[in-house]
Amino acid sequence: MPADYGTLPESDPTSRTDGAAFSASVINLLKAIIGSGILAFPYCFAQVGLVPALILLFGGALLQAYTADLLVQCVQIMRDKDDLNGSVSFKSLAENSLPGEHGKMVIEAIVGVFTLGCSISYLVVMGDLMPQIAEDAIALFGFKEKKESLSIIWEERSGAEATWIVFLALCIGFPLCCLKSVKSLQFTSMLGNFGIGAIVVILILYATNAIDAHPDPTTEPMEMFAMTASGVRVFSIFIFGFSCNQSLPGIITEMKDSSYPTVRAMVNVSLAITALVYLLIGSMGYMVYGSLVNADLLQSLPLGLAACLARLAIVLNVIGSFPLYQHSTRSSFSLVLYQHGPDTLSDCEYYALTITTFAVALVVAISVPGLDVVLGYVGATGGCLVAFTLPAYFYLKQADAPSSWAAVVFWGSWVLMATLVATQTWDLMVR
């Protein structure tokens, strides 16, 4: 979609000598984009068929690139008007576009709901994978003779999921959520990168028959078109999968060269790599497991050392990421409820808010049928608002001569959001 780039400069007069290099910025944005949603892409491919999946995948990437470009222009406009020299954030863009306390509260509530949904998805992933990791450990370390006594931790998967979610959340997640600084946990993203790399390699080996995908490789050919009424609900997962706008302004301000062409190239490269990774995992997972693939891909992988290591890396990643998202959720709702950040709350207020957001995440994670439901609702609500609605609105409010395409995206996103929420709710009711 075209946009008028008008007076944006081709070079950045305030380039930083100590900022992040282009490659580092790409990596940072990739870390912000790729999360638990990656595990649902083979399921999405199976629900709609290969051709619609490709259209949705690359259409979602292009639309995200367009709205990210609108956000980049807003960052430049704020710099030009206010001479902020690199202090722009997603929330400051929102405050500039929605003046007054009510506008600020709306944005904080949206961000809070979005990050709460992300933290719920991480708990669901823990519950999905830990029973299989326990089963792997029983097989790999020779505990088969104790299989019956240990069955509570891996058999009857639905009960085991709730057991593991409660155990890990209470014993590891909650103590970390109570910390007032969780920056030291950011190293866990490297474990997640290892896990994603391992998944890609394993799927390539399965798809090329280099190793046996036992026990349940598909014998069905991939369908080019498999669109059904229930397939519409996976649309929001494609939206959630590319969401990055909430992190983009902060990454831009940290870049060594934050000129418009460089930032635009950084965003496009990041989204292209993301789309390629999703394409590999989605198509190969669908090729190997067909329509039987689970909404959480790692549940479909067979037992064994390689898959166990991939599962373990992802679990360690989400255990560390869960308190990070809870920290962000607490910060947003602190501003909504108390009109100031969590650092200035009393101990009673701080822990009451921490316990409340944690309890909501835990109860929802135990209650939902699967990862696809969480990702579907998060993508349809907070994901749609952050990815499309708000960037288009910011641009329409701040640009002197805004493109008409931005208005189309803004109003179209509301229609899309209502459709996706209705579809998700209907599908959940008829399950």
Query: Which segment, 46-55, 214-223, 232-241, 315-324, is predicted with the most confidence on average?
Result: 46-55
Query: Which segment, 186-200, 205-219, 312-326, 402-416, is predicted with the most confidence on average?
Result: 402-416
Please give the share of the chain, as a percent, with pLDDT higher than 70: 79
How confident is the model at residue 155, as a pLDDT?
46
How far is it, in rounded angstroms, from Cα 96 to Cα 105? 13
Which of 77-86, 288-297, 339-348 is least confident?
Answer: 77-86
pLDDT of residue 149 exceeding 50, the answer is: no
How confident is the model at residue 54, as a pLDDT?
92
Burial class of residue 221, CB neighbours in 10 A (0-12, 13-18, 19+): exposed
Q: What is the pLDDT of residues 66-123, one digit of tens each?
A: 999 999 988 888 777 764 555 677 777 877 777 666 777 888 888 888 888 888 888 8
Q: What is the pLDDT of residues 405-426, one digit of tens each?
A: 899 999 999 998 898 888 888 8
Which of 65-74, 108-117, 149-158, 276-285 is least confident?
Answer: 149-158
How confident is the model at residue 4, as a pLDDT?
34
Give the mean pLDDT of 389-397. Answer: 90
Kindly state the tokens that stand for 103: 């506008």
**Cβ neighbours of residue 410 closer than 8 Å, sequence gap 6 or more:** 388, 389, 392, 393, 396
Domains detected in the chain:
22-86+106-423 (1.20.1740.10)
pLDDT of residue 13 exceeding 70, the answer is: no
How confident is the model at residue 136, as a pLDDT?
72
**Cβ neighbours of residue 161 closer than 8 Å, sequence gap 6 or more:** 127, 128, 130, 131
How confident is the model at residue 180, as a pLDDT?
72
Which of 53-62, 304-313, 363-372, 384-393 is least confident?
Answer: 304-313
Q: What is the pLDDT of residues 130-143, one digit of tens each?
A: 877 777 777 666 55
Kindly state the tokens that stand for 100: 């007054």
Give the mean pLDDT of 25-45. Answer: 83
Please indicate whether residue 61 or residue 107 has the higher confidence score (pLDDT). 61
pLDDT of residue 271 exceeding 90, the answer is: yes
Q: Which whole-number Å values give the CA distances from 200 to 52, 107, 243, 276, 410, in the listed order? A: 22, 36, 21, 11, 35
Q: How does the average pLDDT of the chain come out, rounded?
A: 77
How confident is the model at residue 65, as a pLDDT?
93
Kindly state the tokens that stand for 205: 């080996």
**Would the CA dihedral through 243, 412, 104, 353 be positive or negative?**
negative
pLDDT of residue 222 exceeding 50, the answer is: yes
> Is residue 218 very low, low, confident or very high in pLDDT (cuts 50, 70, 90)?
low
Give the mean pLDDT of 182-209. Answer: 66
111 contacts 386 by C-beta, under 8 angstroms: yes
Give the mean pLDDT of 360-372. Answer: 85
pLDDT of residue 150 exceeding 50, the answer is: no
Please indicate whether residue 305 or residue 383 has the higher confidence score (pLDDT). 383
How confident is the model at residue 319, as a pLDDT?
78
> Is residue 6 very low, low, confident or very high in pLDDT (cuts 50, 70, 90)?
very low
How confident is the model at residue 63, as a pLDDT?
92
How confident is the model at residue 2, as a pLDDT?
36
How confident is the model at residue 14, as a pLDDT?
45
Give the mean pLDDT of 32-59. Answer: 86
How confident is the model at residue 3, as a pLDDT?
37
211 contacts 354 by C-beta, under 8 angstroms: no
Give me the DSSP letters along 292-306: G--SSHHHHSPSSHH
Give the mean pLDDT of 275-286. Answer: 89
How confident is the model at residue 8, as a pLDDT?
33
pLDDT of residue 259 exceeding 70, the answer is: yes
